[in-house]
A = this chain, B = another copy of it.
Amino acid sequence: ADPAAAKSRAGQCFVCHGADGLAKVPDAPNLAGQNAAYLVKALKDYRSGKRENEVMSMMAKNLSDDDIAMVASYFSSIAVTVKAP
């Protein structure tokens, strides 16, 4: 997906998940560099109700498959480097 388009489509997620993919609120998970297939499944499960969360069920309700693909591509494209303890 075109990075700029993906970023703008994911804009609605930034208040909790951050434009950098690092959670800005206590209960939200970090999404930076997350596995795209995992994000797609999570969003579809929130949309279908298979998975429930007060905020995410509402956010996912009206997402199209294309929205979901774009949001997943944005967060999974964030480069992550890790240092295990």
Residue ranges of A at the interface with B (Cβ–Cβ < 8 Å): 3, 7, 19-23, 26-30, 32-35, 37-38, 41, 51, 74, 77-85
Contacts and interface: CB of A to CB of B under 8 A. Distances in A.
A13 to B, nearest CB: 13
Nearest to A32: B82
Main SS of chain A's interface residues?
loop
A33 B34 CA distance: 11
A82 B27 contact: no
Contact of A34 (B30, B81, B83, B85): B30
A37 B26 contact: yes
B78 A81 contact: no
Nearest to A33: B30
Given A19-B84, A20-B82, A30-B34, 15 more contacts: A3-B85, A20-B84, A21-B82, A21-B84, A27-B38, A29-B38, A30-B35, A30-B80, A32-B80, A32-B84, A78-B84, A78-B85, A79-B82, A79-B83, A80-B80
